[in-house]
Amino acid sequence: MNDRAATSSLPVRRLPRPDAARLAGLALLAALIGAAAVGPALVGHDPASQSRLDARQGPSAAPLLGTDHLGRDITARLLSGARLSLGLARLSAVTAALPGALLGVLAARAGGRTNRLLTAFADAVLALPGLLLVLMLAGIAPGSWWALNVGISLTLWVEYFRDTRQRARVVLAVAAVEASRMLRPGPWPILRRHIVSEIGPGLLTIAAFGVTTAVTAVAALGFVSVGIRPPQAE
């Protein structure tokens, strides 16, 4: 009876209710991502279709945001560019996270010379201006999406490496991991049970910032005529 009374008297933790501004932001973000995923099919117009007779039309029911100086539907081009930019940004985040996280775990587990070599290589890449590295690769194959992907991934992987290496070193020193090593289960069970659960939330946070960095880099390269070439919208 006393145990029940003591249990009932404990304070109950309630999850904070999201405010209206946060819900509105999430709804707007979901709407933008959904519109970018559907692309120009949402408005039913070809983003590359030109018509001099329809040039410089104002916003209306058919061209929602009007047309440009070549008669192209601005709404369709915005949706097409958003789909390309977000798709390339997500691809760059994934291709940067995989090698960065794996090399970080390798450096933390191996230690010694392997750790020093990988850390020195990451510091050398970090010393280079990120946009300059992307410009070099984009200049080799101008207008190619894979060159942009490789350049952005080479710029972003260092953050994943440094965060994963630091967190993995702490996890590998825990007593539970030391006990698991005595049972000789192999590296994959330790990686799955202990390391992934610890470094996963941090990697998602870095990936969120990486996507925004990639979108900004694609826009900057397009501004200097090194990114995606016309008539492709970006």
Q: What is the pLDDT of residues 131-146, one digit of tens each?
A: 777 777 777 777 777 8
Which CATH number is 95's domain given?
Answer: 1.10.3720.10
Cα(16)–Cα(11) distance, rounded to whole angstroms? 15
Question: Does the residue 144 lie in any domain?
Answer: yes
Q: pLDDT value at position 8?
A: 45
Residues of the chain with pLDDT under 50: 1-10
Q: pLDDT value at position 97?
A: 92
Question: Does the residue 199 lie in any domain?
Answer: yes
Adjacent-strand bridge partners of 73: 67
What angle separates helix 74-110 from helix 196-223, to the nearest 10 degrees? 140
Q: pLDDT value at position 103?
A: 93
Q: Per residue, what are the HEC states of 54-81?
A: HCCCCCCCCCCCCECCCCCEHHHHHHHH
Question: Does the residue 130 lie in any domain?
Answer: yes
Rg (CA), the chain: 24
Burial class (CB in 10 A: 0-12, 13-18, 19+), 218: buried
Cα(88)–Cα(104) distance, rounded to whole angstroms? 24
Question: Does the residue 208 lie in any domain?
Answer: yes
Q: pLDDT value at position 220?
A: 80
Question: Does the residue 229 lie in any domain?
Answer: no
Question: Does the residue 35 lie in any domain?
Answer: no
Question: Does the residue 122 lie in any domain?
Answer: yes
Question: Does the residue 200 lie in any domain?
Answer: yes
Domain hosting residue 194, numbered range: 79-223
Q: pLDDT value at position 6?
A: 44
Adjacent-strand bridge partners of 67: 73
Q: pLDDT value at position 233?
A: 74
Cα(174)–Cα(90) distance, rounded to whole angstroms? 33
Cα(152)–Cα(144) distance, rounded to whole angstroms? 13
Cα(234)–Cα(224) distance, rounded to whole angstroms? 13
Q: pLDDT value at position 7?
A: 44
Residue 227: Cβ within 10 Å count: 26
Structural domains in the chain (count)? 1
